[in-house]
Structure 1
Amino acid sequence: MAGNNEPVTSPDQRKPTNRKVAYTVTIAGIITMIAYLFGNHEGRVEDLWLLFTAGVLAIGLAADWLMVRNGLRE
């Protein structure tokens, strides 16, 4: 391909994600989903989906934290 001036880099040369920001955004998302439980809706299906999604985010956050803590992930 002509005109492709993008340098070739390996994955370890890329700037890592700021873990503190990622954790903060995830926790904010969990809090927001739990806050949505308190509204003027009558059905419980929405509540179950919100709790399920918040739970998946919390499990992912805890798994990442444990992997970093145990040295399995940078």
Structure 2
Amino acid sequence: MANTEVERYSEVDTADVPSAAWGWSKITYRTWYALGIFIIVFLLGMMHGNHVGRVENWFLVLFAGGTALVIIRDWIMRRRGMLR
């Protein structure tokens, strides 16, 4: 007789990733947001250094701003349900 138990589908197959059975294969977006904020603080902290010119500062601000835009876009789109 066939099993009447409902099989749950997850994006990760346990044959490919054995730790998926314990739920360790999900992406934790809060961790990525925290890492992004750390990168922004690190990039802006590098502006205080031993360089003389201002070109380096503009590049650091540009990359920190780009990182902030990506984090904010991802956060807003996940809240609105546009991203999973």
| Fold in common (TM above 0.5) | yes
Residue deviations 1:20-72 (CA, integer Å, cap 9, x gap): 11001000000000000111210111101100000000000000000001110
Q: After TM superposition, which residue ranges in structure 1, 4 or more long, deviate above 6 angstroms?
A: none
Q: Does 2:56 correspond to 1:50?
A: no
Between the aligned residues of both structures, percent identity stands at: 30
Q: Does 2:30 correspond to 1:32?
A: no
Name the aligned partner's letter for residue 21 of structure 1: T
> Which structure is richer in relative contact order (CA contacts within 8 A, separation 6 or more)?
1
TM-score by length of 2: 0.70
Aligned residues: 63
RMSD (CA atoms): 1.1
Larger Rg: 2
Which residues of structure 2 form unaligned runs of 5+? 1-9, 13-24
State the secondary structure of the residue aligned to 2:27: coil
TM-score by length of 1: 0.79
